[in-house]
């Protein structure tokens, strides 16, 4: 498989629609083999940025390299190395899941075995069912099957679990982890912060068309070093203290209570806390 140090490299990316600026000078690197989650509120520029990376939308200015080529001028061979799973791939109500995957396999010169792909996404038992009777989660698995049938090196996932119930979401996460473990680079957009934390090696936050932060989920912003909140159950009820030295507070409380501290918890800012602060919510 063709390999590059960074699957995606973006420098100074701009996209304007007349007087409106959708993407405003984005610099981004997505490393080969990683899962990268792009976060941001509606209108932040996520969809525009991803569509430019996929080669579906032209940029106003900037440099973009995806798998070593400019997607704006890439050919069919490049397209075969990229998988795209949109929010809705399409409806094939009168075809079975197996028929759909076999049909799409014909578009690729080195397609994976359709039956193996169906097994990989957990649809073997449903392969002879017409797609109209599949559940929402099963249809999403079929979307992924179509996205990976061409053996892509890079897979784009747009809001992959929107509308899923909690059980279906976690099953889908297992599928994504399996793809990543097999070496597929994945760029996903999601509004679910727990999804980004569960799946992504790194996350990027877009706001107002600008990439304002990139880091591992547990280090984004000040999550790893920010003030912790120590909470406990005191004589007069629940109590808490914000501190940069939680160990010292816990030690003091342990001495005060003569051992175990009732109801003790130590928490740092969640990914959601940091994200909302970054995009200016709640300020």
pLDDT tens, residue by residue, 16-47: 998 899 999 999 999 999 999 999 998 899 99
Tell whether 63 and 151 lie within a shared domain.
yes
Q: Are 211 and 232 in the same domain?
A: no
Looking at the structure, do residues 257 and 156 belong to the same domain, yes or no? no
Ranges of residues in the chain whose predicted pLDDT is under 50: 1-3, 283
Query: Does some domain include residue 277?
Result: no
Same structural domain for residues 127 and 257? no
Question: Is there a single domain that holds both residue 187 and residue 241?
Answer: no
CATH number at residue 202: 3.40.50.300
Global pTM? 0.83
Report whether 256 contacts 264 (CB < 8 A).
Answer: no
Residues 203 and 239 reside in one and the same domain: no
Tell whether 242 and 190 lie within a shared domain.
Answer: no
Q: Quick check: 80 and 67 in contact, CB under 8 A?
A: no
How much is the pLDDT for 89?
57
What pLDDT, on a 0 to 100 scale, did the predictor assign at position 2? 42
Whether residue 171 sits in one domain with residue 197: yes
Which of 190, 215, 240 represents a domain boundary (last residue)? 215
DSSP string, the chain: ----SEEEEEEEEEEEETTEEEEEEEEEEEETT-EEEEE--TTSSHHHHHHHHHTSS--SEEEEEETTB-GGG--HHHHTTEEEE-S-----TTSBHHHHHHHHHTT-TTPPPHHHHHHHTT-GGGTTSBGGGS-HHHHHHHHHHHHHTT--SEEEEESTTTT--HHHHHHHHHHHHHHHHTT-EEEEE-S-HHHHHHH-SEEEEEETTEEEEEE-TTTSTTTTTSPEEEEEEETTEEEEEEES-HHHHHHHHHHHHTSPPTT-EEE---HHHHHHHHTTTT-
- Specify whether 197 is located in the same domain as 249: no
Would residue 107 count as lying in a domain?
yes
Q: Does residue 10 form part of some domain?
A: yes
202 and 80 housed in the same domain: yes
Domain membership flag for residue 179: yes
Position 3 scores a pLDDT of: 43
pLDDT value for 1: 41
Please check whether residues 207 and 234 belong to one and the same domain. Answer: no
Domain around 238: 228-267
**Number of domains forming the structure of the chain:** 2
Is the same domain home to 161 and 237? Answer: no
Q: Is residue 221 part of a domain?
A: no
């Amino acid at each position: 498989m063709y390999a590059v140090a960074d699957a995606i490299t973006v420098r100074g990316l701009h996209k304007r629609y007349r007087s409106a600026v959708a993407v405003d000078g984005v610099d981004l690197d997505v490393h080969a083999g990683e899962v990268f989650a792009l976060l941001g509120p509606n209108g932040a520029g996520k969809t525009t940025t991803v569509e430019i990376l996929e080669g579906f939308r032209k940029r106003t200015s900037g440099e973009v390299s995806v798998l070593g080529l400019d997607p704006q001028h890439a050919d069919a061979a490049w397209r075969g190395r990229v998988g795209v799973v949109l929010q809705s791939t399409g409806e094939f109500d009168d075809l079975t899941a197996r028929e759909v995957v076999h049909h799409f396999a014909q578009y690729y010169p080195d397609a994976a075995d359709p039956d193996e792909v169906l097994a990989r996404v957990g649809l073997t038992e449903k392969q002879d069912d017409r797609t109209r009777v599949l559940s929402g989660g099963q249809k999403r698995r079929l979307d992924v099957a179509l996205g990976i049938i061409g053996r892509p090196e890079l897979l784009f996932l747009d809001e992959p679990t929107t509308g899923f119930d909690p059980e279906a979401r976690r099953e889908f996460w297992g599928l994504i982890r399996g793809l990543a473990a097999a070496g597929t680079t994945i760029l996903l957009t999601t509004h679910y912060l727990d999804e980004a934390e569960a799946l992504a090696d790194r996350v990027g936050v877009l706001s107002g068309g600008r990439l304002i932060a990139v880091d591992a989920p547990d280090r984004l912003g000040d999550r790893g070093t920010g003030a912790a909140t120590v909470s406990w159950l005191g004589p007069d009820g629940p109590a808490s203290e914000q501190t940069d030295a939680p160990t010292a507070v816990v030690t003091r409380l342990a001495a005060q209570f003569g051992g175990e501290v009732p109801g003790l918890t130590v928490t740092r800012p969640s990914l959601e806390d940091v994200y909302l602060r970054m995009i200016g919510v709640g300020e």
